Amino acid sequence: MQEEIRAFIFSELLFVDDPAGFGDEDDLLDAGLDSMGIMRLVLFVEERFGISLPDDELEPDNLRTLGRLQRWIERHR
């Protein structure tokens, strides 16, 4: 799951020089993930993994890093 999400982020949402060097706890928001990117990411996750992520939990703390994002997704699987 995490590799699919990582591939989507770095092919569709963020363009960094070295995606392989981007760690699971590096800040996606500081790297340029914006509100439109967040919405695309949430839609991708919901469609790809067949889950519903609550709108009231759509906050920076759940989306700041790949690790936090994965933990948020796991709570709703």
Task: Compute how many other C-beta atoms are within 10 angstroms of the C-beta atom of residue 68.
Answer: 17
Q: What percent of the chain has pLDDT over 90?
A: 87
Per-residue pLDDT band at 63 (split at 50, 70, 90):
very high
Per-residue pLDDT, 41: 96
Q: DSSP label at 65?
A: S
Residue among 31, 23, 32 nearest 66 (CA): 23
Q: Is the pLDDT of residue 16 over 90?
A: no
Q: Is the pLDDT of residue 1 over 90?
A: no
Range of the domain at 38: 2-75
Average pLDDT over residues 21-35: 95
Residue identified by tokens 């800040």 is: 27
pLDDT for residue 6: 95
Total domains present in the chain: 1
* 8 A C-beta contact, residue 37 and residue 16: no
pTM value is: 0.90
Q: How far is CA 12 from the centre of its chain?
A: 11
Q: What is the DSSP letter of 17?
A: S
Which CATH number characterizes residue 59's domain?
Answer: 1.10.1200.10
